[in-house]
Each structure stands twice: as structure tokens, then as C-alpha cells.
Chains A and B, each alone.
Chain A
Amino acid sequence: MAEDKRRKMIGLQPEGDVDWSMYRGIMVVVEQRSGVAKPVSWQLLGEARRLADKLDAPLMALVMGQDVSHIAQQAIGYGADIVYHADAPELKDYRTRPYSRVCLKVIKTYRPEIVLMGATYTGRDLAGAIATHLPTGLTADSTQLDVDDERLLLASRPAFSEKMLATILCKQFKPQMATVRAGVFQALPYDEKRTGKIIAVHQDMHENDIVTKVLEFVQDDNRVNLEDAQVIVAGGRGLGGPDGFKLLHELANVLGGTVAASRAATDLGWIDHAYQVGQTGTTVRPKLYFAIGISGAVQHVVGMQNSDYIVAINKDPNAPIFQIANYGIVGDLFEIVPLLTKAFQERLTPVMAR
């Protein structure tokens, strides 16, 4: 019984040697599904290339999956010097245990000083497990990266509902880890002539030892993808009901954009929660954002203030949304939006077709 009380606690001490100077280089963990890499992985390689050059250290990529050698090759074209490539049927779908096992093995063998992953669902799932296991410090959802003279990773991230930015360091352990938000950095132009080394990583895993099974993945092509939208037409309580969104759809269609909503509108059931922008919804940074019948509560604003251009339409001249808008129109949305749709349509339709 006494033994029962001594419980296993993982991640208390770094295993093995602790000569941190042995850790060199930056490793980006590439995320893929069904043999297609996520854009954030290439964006990360682009930024990590800059950091690796600054550190005068190699840029490594870790590619895991089944039949993903083409992704290993792509990683070189996007800037990696060395790619660790783990290919196995057990790695077909992402699962925490097999993926973290491979990842830990590669980190312990090749000792990168910095490990970066996308701050996607999968990236956060994996990074949280890895950092605890090692153990090391992990900064979530970074939007700026740099390194200093002491080779410290300066990972900056929004804090307190994006009201502040904080720079976070990990001096104590290596590798220094961070997840990085999608859409913040730019991928390098793909260079198919670039050369690099691809190293196969072997692991002895058996499906029978893995408890968790992925039964199916249902791709949702209608899944609102606000994160990647270039133009967003968002509506709030001012729309007065679900029908108001029809007006927004018409404008969005003309602009090739996506409809979104404030929480007031999703809470009222006018549109699905998946469309919600803001602190408890999605953070977006489109090129053009329309806030229509949205007052501009801070919880909404934190999720869209980084849009390149913001247009606000509201009948209340004192609505806070006007403070962050590039263009403001005080008026009744039911009058303005259809006129706007028409004006865009006329301007965007080629002269010949008119």
C-alpha cells in the first residue's frame, strides 16, 4: 500500500546530461494532415531561418507522418538545412503519445536550442506535452520572435486580452520552446534548388500499445475559416435578427469575403458560434474588416483590431468601434449596406460586362 502512494510524476528533472552548451540550432516541428503541410509550418521556417542565421546555427525541421517524404523535401525548399523525417503507420493521424514520443527522441538526440511549433490545436496539444516531459519553459501563441546576444529566445505574445505584449524568456533549460500564431510570419519563397540533409528517424512503436485511436476525420469544407479570410463582413446586434445576415452575405459575396459576427449575435442564435470574432471567439487579421451594427466592446475589438483596414457602420455616432475604424459611416445599416454592395459590384464588374 505504501508503494501505491509513491506516484509517478513525469517531468521533474531534465533527463541525462545537462550541458546546455551542447544544444545548438533551431528546430521547427512541421504540422501536416493527410500529406499536406499547414502553411504555419512554412511561415515558421521563414522566421526561424532569420533567427538561425543570426545565431549562426543550423535550421532543422521535424516531419512526422505516414508517406510524408515529399513534405521533408518541401521543408528544405522552405529554408531548413536538416530535416528529421519520421515515417510510420502509427503516425498517420496526429495522436499525442506517438507524436510526443518521436519528438522527444529527436530533441534528446539532436539537441536544438530552440523548438518552435504552430500555435494550432495540434501544435498546442503537442508542445504542452513535450515541454512538460522535458521539462522546459514554453511560451504560447507568440506573435514576435527574436534572439539576443546570449542566444536567448525572446518570444513575445499578447497578454490580458491582447491589451499588452509580454516578452518571455527561458534561461534555465533548453530547448527554449514557443508556439507561434498562424498568419503572423511570412514563408520564404519556395526554392526547389535548395539543398539540405534528410535524416530518417526510426522508432519502435506498436499500434497495440497505443490506447487512443482516431476513428475518422470529417473534413468540414464549410467550416468557417475566419483566420485565413482576407475580407470579413461582421455583424452584431444591430442586425436585429438572422435575416440581417443576408445583407452581409450579399456584400461578402461581392468582395469574395466571409461573414462573421459579434458575440451578441451568436448568443442570440442568429448565426452559429463558429462565426464569432473576439476574445472568446476567433482572433482575425484580414486585410479588410467591416463592423456592421457592432458597438465595439473590448472583447470584440481584441479579436479584430489588427485588421489592415476597418470600416464601421453604426447609427450611434458615439459607438466605440469608430475609435479604431479607418472609415466610419454613421447611419442605418439597412440603408447603407445594400448601397455599398451595389457600389462595390459596379466597381468590381469589368467594364465590358456592364
Chain B
Amino acid sequence: MHIVVCIKQVPDSKEIKIDPKTNTLMRQGVPAVVNYYDMHGVEEALRIKDKYGARVTVITMGPPSADKALKQCISLGADEGVLVSDRAFAGADTLATSYVLASAIYKAADTWGPVDMIFAGKQTSDGDTGQVGPGIACRIDYEQLTYVQQIEDINPDTGELIVHRHLEDGVERVKTRTPVLITVVTELNTPRRASLPGMLRAARYTPIVWTTNDFEELDRSKIGLRGSPTIVSKTWVPEPKHVSTDMLTGTGNEVAATLVENLFGTELKHSLGWA
């Protein structure tokens, strides 16, 4: 089995601040981390590898510094890490991203053998669309199962698998067949920590880099900013909700009574039906 995991390095969101003067993001010096959900995809691929034997290829499209994220996956047990990186890929929206990642998955198949399963995260913390996974599946015509919280069964011989999808109102048990793309939620597993040999291997490992020149059939009008139909026309910081916090003081009984009185004095009385 050959499993590809798509991971993305994202800015550590708790470190992102907004410049109050220019209303732009201050990204400088913001540390990068692997998108939270994607590590659950890596873990699931490694569990399948541990159980049935599989080759695990981790792919990311991003700047050269994203090689750190790949090394982290190598330290956990992934076989190869591919960095798809080129200035021409920059500024991609989900449509252009899915095109490049689909091309990279085809190339990974040519290099290491047919790809049976692809894992992607439910969504990223910066793009936050959840569209890239379905986009890749559509591009290369794989079955698509999103929001998977459990893989109940895999038959490595027939390629049949049963998964549980986590939906708003319940859980759906679905059966399908490889080749398949799965997007994962955090309930799926608990990511492991790197082992010492893993860390040693990662320290020596240099991720493979593919640039536009490595893709024979890449249509350059379909990548990067140029290949992205969506344009950000404007960004703004929403007016901070004007709150003048009312700090209630007094004994416990007093503050409790004051709070109840105050809340009953608002429109909540009607909207919550507190007759």
C-alpha cells in the first residue's frame, strides 16, 4: 500500500497579531507549526503502516522553510517527505492548490508506486476552507470521504474499507474502496511522539524538493496567483464588539442577584422567553 498525507505548515495562530495602525497581519517572527488536523492524518497513515505495512509519503506545498514540517513527519515514521516549492506556486487559492497537489500525487505514484489512500486534514487553521481535500479527490477522480473519525476496517487485499464519518447530527458508517481520499477529524486518533531513532533519521534526512520544472505537464496558467479564480478584494478588522464590561462587586449573594437583575433587564428576557 502507498499512502500519501497532505500536510500544511501554518502560522501558530496564537502568535498572530494585527497591526493596529495598518490593519494588516503581523506575520513576522510568527512561528510555524504543522496544521493541527494534518498530524492526525499522519498518525493514521503510520498506524496502517504499522499494522499492514505501507509506504507513507508526506507532501506539502509551501515555502522552503516548510521542510521542517516534513522532517517532523519523518521523525514519526514517514518514509519520504516531498516539498513542492516554487515562487510560481505562491498565492494559490484552493483551486490552484488542489491542482498542484494532485499533480504531485501523480508524480509520487510514478516515483514510488500507485497511491491507494490519501489523507488530508478536515481544514487548515489559516486557509480554513476544508476545500483542498475534496478538490484533490475530484481532480484525480478518487472516492472522497470527509470528516472521518474512525477507520473501522481495511482489507488490504481487496482495498475495501469501512469508516465512520463525523457529522453534525450523528455518525455515518460508510463503505468504499481504494483509491480513496480521506479527510480527518481529531477524534480519529492521538498522534504519537517521535522515537529516538526517528529523530536521528529525521536529522539526517533531506526532504525531496519538486519545483515547476519537475512537472512535465504542468499548465502554468493554472498555478499560483494566476491560476486562482478567487481574489481577496478587501480585508478589514471587524469593529471590536463594543463592550463596556460591567464588573459586579459585593458578596456572592449580591453579585448573583445583581447579575440576574441585569440580565432580566436586557432583551434576553424576551428572546429567551424568561417571562
Interface on A for B, CB 8 Å cutoff?
5-12, 33, 93, 96-97, 100, 120-122, 124-125, 127-129, 131-133, 135-141, 154, 158-161, 163-173, 211-220, 223, 225, 227, 230-231, 255-256, 273, 279-280, 287-288, 297-299, 305-306, 308-311, 322-331, 335-336, 339-340, 342-344, 347-348
Contacts and interface: CB of A to CB of B under 8 A. Distances in A.
A160 B162 contact: no
Interface stretch (B41-49, B57-65, B262-270): B262-270
B260 A343 contact: yes
A9 B146 contact: no
User: B-side binding surface: helix, strand, loop or mixed?
Assistant: mixed
Given A167-B232, A326-B243, A342-B256, 12 more contacts: A9-B139, A33-B169, A128-B129, A160-B13, A163-B237, A170-B230, A215-B162, A218-B171, A230-B272, A279-B125, A308-B268, A311-B259
16 contacts: A128-B130, A136-B95, A141-B128, A160-B25, A164-B23, A164-B235, A171-B229, A173-B229, A216-B173, A218-B171, A220-B171, A323-B243, A327-B247, A335-B252, A336-B252, A342-B256
Interface residues on B, range: 35 or more
Given A33-B169, A211-B177, A132 B257 contact: no
Contacts of B176: 211-213
A10 B181 CA distance: 15
B172 A137 contact: no
A138 B14 contact: no
Contacts of A256: 272
Contacts of A227: 168
Interface stretch (B76-84, B97-105, B191-199, B201-209): B97-105
Nearest to B176: A212
The interface centre, meaning the residue of B102, B132, B256 with most chain A CB atoms within 10 A of its CB, is: B256
B99 to A, nearest CB: 7
A242 B137 CA distance: 41
Contact of B95 (A6, A9, A135): A135
8 nearest CB pairs, A to B: A128-B134, A137-B229, A140-B129, A137-B230, A339-B256, A128-B131, A132-B138, A343-B256
A279 B247 contact: no
A333 B231 CA distance: 47
B233 interface: yes
The interface centre, meaning the residue of B129, B132, B217, B246 with most chain A CB atoms within 10 A of its CB, is: B129
Contacts of A218: 170-173
